[in-house]
Amino acid sequence: MERFETLEGVVAPIDRANVDTDAIIPKQFLKSIKRSGFGPNLFDEWRYLDRGEPDVDNSTRPVNPDFVLNQPRFRNARILVVRENFGCGSSREHAVWALEDFGIRAVIGSSFADIFYNNCFKNGVLPIVLDAAQVAGIFDLVAKHDGLTLKIDLPEQVIELPDGGRIEFSIEPFRKECLLKGLDEIGLTLAHADEIKAYEARRREQAPWLFAAGEK
């Protein structure tokens, strides 16, 4: 998993409440268990004017010019600002895979669905919870600036605004450490590989009969 320390990028607004995971990545794209390749189908039903299907060349599909991520100033967005209850619906981890594959590394909102929120941390995406007034303020800034850029400093836990203002945010220390070190659950386990091997060696000495059946 890619480390997250600081991020500076364009902010794109998703100005809808209760955006569910089927809107983020529709169900027909869930056949793959790879974490890559989902970016072109992020918000598929909103980005395109036809129905998307797996293995279709998206470059030939008609795009919706009114959708935010199709507008030139937002095409290279790295940050989303969203309304309440973002990521609700099914628990599909593919939703975060699609965001990350598109290039989104942070999502700012007033509330997130619990499973989506947890999945973000497992995939190197930082979900930032602010109060509703602060989120509304960022939406206003996006509307006033042509390609608003924010800087997110995870070590300091602040969002730096273009005018020099700063918004502090909270994050659990353990989740913060995992993002800073680029550790998902597998990475956390591998960090203790030597201890695991030592434990297995001790168990083999203490109870060799547990291992005999699998050794030929």
* 85: three-class secondary structure by DSSP: coil
Average pLDDT over residues 68-90: 96
93 against 186, higher pLDDT:
93
Q: Is 3 left (phi over 0), alpha (psi -120 to 50) or beta?
A: beta
Two structure tokens written together for 94 = 């593919």
Q: Taking the model in full, what pTM does it have?
A: 0.86
Q: Is 157 left (phi over 0), alpha (psi -120 to 50) or beta?
A: left
Per-residue model confidence as pLDDT tens digits over 176-208: 999 999 987 666 665 666 777 778 878 888 888
Task: Count Cα neighbours of 46 within 13 Å in the Cβ-side half-sphere.
Answer: 18
Q: How confident is the model at residue 172, as a pLDDT?
A: 96
**What are the structural domains, with CATH classification, of the chain?**
6-183 (3.20.19.10), 184-216 (no CATH)
**CA dist 89 → 22, 24, 113, 115 (Å):** 7, 10, 8, 9
Q: Quick one: pLDDT band at residue 121, thresholds 50, 70, 90?
A: very high
DSSP letter, residue 25:
S
